């Protein structure tokens, strides 16, 4: 039990140091205006897609190829689970 506690404490220290390095060296904070090139373009040109919700416009028009991949992932997962559940226990 004692050894386990020491291990957990060590893990905590290591992860804390890792987080410290990541946070200290990037120092991101909330932006005050839209700086990204691509999102500025999307905000200016979303009306070509016929949608008012820009997130949906990005999902289904500007980056619809990503959505295709996502749908494939759902497709694979459902087939995989139905395979795993229907599988006979034969070995």
Partner 1 sequence: MIEHLPVFFLLTPLIAAVILSITNIFSKKEFIQKIIAASSLALPFYFLYIVFQELNTQTISYDVGGWLKPYGITMVIDELSFILLLVTAILGILTFIYSIKYVKKEVGKFYFFFLLLMSGLNGIFLSGDIFNLYIFFDLTIICSFILITFGEDRYSYKGSIKYLVLGTLASLFFLLAIGFIYAETGLLNLEYLQNSIPLISMQAQIIIFTLLLAAIGIKSAIIPFHTWLVDAHSTAPIPISALLSGIIVKAGVYLFLRINSFGFDIPNIKEVILFLGAITAVGGVVYALIQWDIKKITASHTISQIGIVFIGIGTFSTIGITGGISHLVNHAFFKALLFLCAGAIIYKTGNKDIREHKIGMSMPITLVLYIVGILSISGITPFNGFISKTLIEQSLNNYPFINSMLIFTSIGTVASFSKIIYYSFLKNREIKFNNFKINEAPLLFLIPMIALAFLCLFIGIMPHVWLDTFILPASYSLSSFFSLNVSFIQPASIFKEWLIVAVGILILFLILRISSVVDHIRDKISKIKVNQSILFMIITLIIISLIFGVLNY
Partner 2 sequence: MINGINIGIVLFLIGLYGIITNKNLIKIIMSIGICSNGIVLFFISIGYVKNAFSPIIDSATTNVVDPVPQALMLTMIVINLCDTAIALAITVWIYKKFGTINIEEIT
Partner 3 sequence: MTSRIIKTISRTIIPFIFLFGAYMILFGHISPGGGFQGGVIVSMGIILAVVAYGEDIIERYKSEITLVEILGVAFFIFAGLIGIFVGKSFFSSFNAIWLLNIIIGVKVCSGIVLFYMLFIRWEYIDND
Q: In the range 11-40, which residues lie near partner 1 by CB under 8 A?
A: 11, 14-15, 17-18, 21-22, 24-26, 28, 35-39
Residue closer to partner 1, measured from CB, 52 or 84: 84
- How far is the C-alpha of 79 from the C-alpha of 86, rounded, in Å? 10
Which residues neighbour 58 within 8 Å (Cβ) at sequence distance 6 or greater? Answer: 42
- Residue 28 has which token pair? 């991101």
- How far is the C-alpha of 44 from the C-alpha of 29, rounded, in Å? 25
- Half-sphere exposure at residue 39, Cβ-oriented, CA atoms within 13 angstroms: 6
- List interacting residues with partner 1 (CB under 8 A): 11, 14-15, 17-18, 21-22, 24-26, 28, 35-39, 41-42, 61-66, 69-70, 72-73, 75-77, 79-80, 83-84, 87, 90-91
- List interacting residues with partner 3 (CB under 8 A): 48-53, 55-57, 59-61, 64-65, 67-68, 71-72, 74-75, 77-78, 81-82, 85
């Amino acid at each position: 039990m004692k050894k386990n506690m020491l291990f957990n404490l060590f893990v905590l220290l290591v992860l804390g140091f890792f987080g410290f390095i990541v946070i200290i060296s990037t120092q991101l904070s909330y932006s005050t205006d839209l700086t990204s090139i691509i999102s500025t373009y999307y905000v200016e040109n979303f009306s070509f897609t016929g949608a008012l919700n820009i997130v949906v416009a990005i999902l289904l028009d500007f980056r619809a190829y990503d959505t295709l991949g996502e749908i494939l992932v759902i497709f694979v997962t459902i087939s995989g689970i139905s395979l795993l559940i229907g599988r006979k226990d034969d070995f």
